[in-house]
Amino acid sequence: MTLGCIPMCEFCKRIHTFVPPGKEALGCDAFPDGIPDQIYAAAFDHREQFKNGVDDHGLVFEARSPEALQQYLAMLKREHRDF
C-alpha cells in the first residue's frame, strides 16, 4: 500500500532519535539503526510487517496514544478518499 503523506512514524510510540557518528537520524524500536526510507517516506504502511530486506523484529506501528491514532487516521482520510 502506498500512502504518500506524513509518515506514520510521527504518530508512533516506538520512534526515537539517535545520533550515529557524523549525522542525526531517526530510529525506532523496530529499526534501531534507522527507519527505512520506504517507510519514512510513507510509501509503505507499517501497520503490516516490513519484508523488504530489513528486519523490523516483528514490531509494527503502534500509536503513541488514542489521540495520535485518531489524528493519523483522519490524515489518511484527507489524503486518500478511498481509505
Give how far Cα 80 sits from Cα of 12, 28, 36, 77, Å.
20, 26, 23, 5
Average pLDDT over residues 51-79: 89
Whether the Cβ atoms of residue 39 and residue 27 lie closer than 8 Å to each other: no
Residue 3 lies in a domain: no
In three-state secondary structure terms, 64 is coil
Q: Can you tell me the mean pLDDT for 20-42?
A: 81
Instruction: Confirm whether 31 is domain-assigned.
Output: yes
Residue range(s) defining the domain that contains residue 27: 8-79
Q: What is the per-residue pLDDT for 6?
A: 76
35 in a structural domain: yes
In a domain, 65, yes or no: yes
Would residue 2 count as lying in a domain?
no
User: Is residue 57 a part of any domain in this protein?
Assistant: yes
In a domain, 1, yes or no: no
Structural domain count of the chain: 1
Task: Specify which residues 28 forms β-bridges with.
Answer: 15
Q: What is the pTM of this model?
A: 0.74
| pLDDT for the residue numbered 8 | 87
Mean pLDDT of the chain: 82
